[in-house]
Amino acid sequence: MPRSLNGQAGTSASDLLQSIRENVEKVVFGKRQEVELAVIGLAAHGHLLIEDVPGVGKTVLARTLARSIGCSFKRIQFTPDLLPSDVTGVSIFNQQTREFEFRPGPIVAQVVLADEINRATPKTQSALLEAMDERQITVDGETYHLPTPFMVLATQNPIEYEGTFPLPEAQLDRFLLRIRLGYPSPEQEVAVLEAQTLRHPLEDIQSVATVAELARCQQAVREIHVNALLHRYTVGVSVATRSHPDVYLGASPRGSLALMRAAQARALLCGRDYVIPDDVKALAVAVLSHRIIMNPEARMRDATAAGVIAEILAQLPVPGNRVAA
């Protein structure tokens, strides 16, 4: 049974996630699977890396998701001259009080859009590491906790490399999911044109969830049952990436944990209070592919991390149907 947000009869956590998904789809047309991944990342209290060519709706997806959940929202446009203090904030001396005052940067928000994150220098990119992993920032030796919930939605263009700084592995590992939107079909593109004839549909989007409801929904995700066999299956997928001949560096234990948490969120979105193997299989590529480094020889053969994971899923034995205790 889907869990209720208030412990009594009423809107369930599953219904809330479905409402958020439907709200986002009013703006992002024809991308049901990608929108579901974004909602799963939100429910699992994770960060999203939205990667694709310009003009396919990366920023629109991030903005629509933020508006749908009634959270505070800040946007950071990453550029080569952006400084870490431009992200985290600075301490300024107040002449009247004779004390230093902290002026928070745009990272101090519940939903942060890091636009074109790979255009900033590694020093500035690293300013996000503590925030994404520990939900806090340190400025001039003082630690400041970030609001709850806290989510980073980062976008980047994987095609244009001039003037960019590829994200290091430690940074990539902080993202729960990597989403690729792709081009819409001709019919979907026509629908986009028609929807924006007079005004952008994003202007009419209203929030469908409160911060408190979202927090309870994220807690409900952690209560979704995961059988011990599925724990072993999830770890088995990650372990298999570490010994694959085409892989130089496989998924870390953080990847296994991310895959389990995302599978719990997918189960809740589907109205179940337990995880099934299909949840793990459906999310393995989105959760693990950006955590894998391919061998140079494999890259020359155009082998991809997604292909490696698909091969592992095809060969790894799936646990039986007894997924509930």
The pLDDT of residue 192 is 86
Angstrom distance (rounded) from CA 156 to CA 164:
10
Which range (106-115, 270-279, 314-323) has the least confidence? 314-323
Residue 177 is which amino acid? L
Contacts of 66 (CB under 8 A, 6+ apart): 73, 111, 113, 153
Angstrom distance (rounded) from CA 130 to CA 148:
15
Structure tokens at 263: 């599978």
- Domains of the chain, each with CATH number or no CATH: 1-223 (3.40.50.300), 224-325 (1.10.8.80)
Structure tokens at 48: 């999203």
DSSP 238: H
Please tell me the number of Cα atoms within 13 Å of 57 on its side-chain side.
Answer: 26
Residue written as token pair 């409160």 = 210
Angstrom distance (rounded) from CA 246 to CA 301:
10
Angstrom distance (rounded) from CA 204 to CA 69:
14
Angstrom distance (rounded) from CA 154 to CA 164:
14
Closest CA to 148 of 136, 156, 139: 136
The pLDDT of residue 196 is 86
Angstrom distance (rounded) from CA 231 to CA 272:
17
DSSP 65: H
In angstroms, the Cα distances linking 62 to 41, 77, 162, 182, 251 are 12, 13, 24, 15, 26
pLDDT surpasses 80 at 253: yes
* Number of DSSP helices (H) and strands (E) in the chain, helices first: 14, 11
The pLDDT confidence band at residue 175, using thresholds 50, 70 and 90, is very high
The pTM of the full predicted model, rounded to 2 decimals, is: 0.88
pLDDT tens across 281-320, in order?
999 999 999 999 999 999 899 999 999 999 999 999 988 7
pLDDT surpasses 60 at 3: no
pLDDT tens across 193-227, in order?
898 888 888 888 888 988 889 999 999 999 999 99
The separation between the first and the last C-alpha atoms of the chain, rounded to the nearest angstrom, is: 15
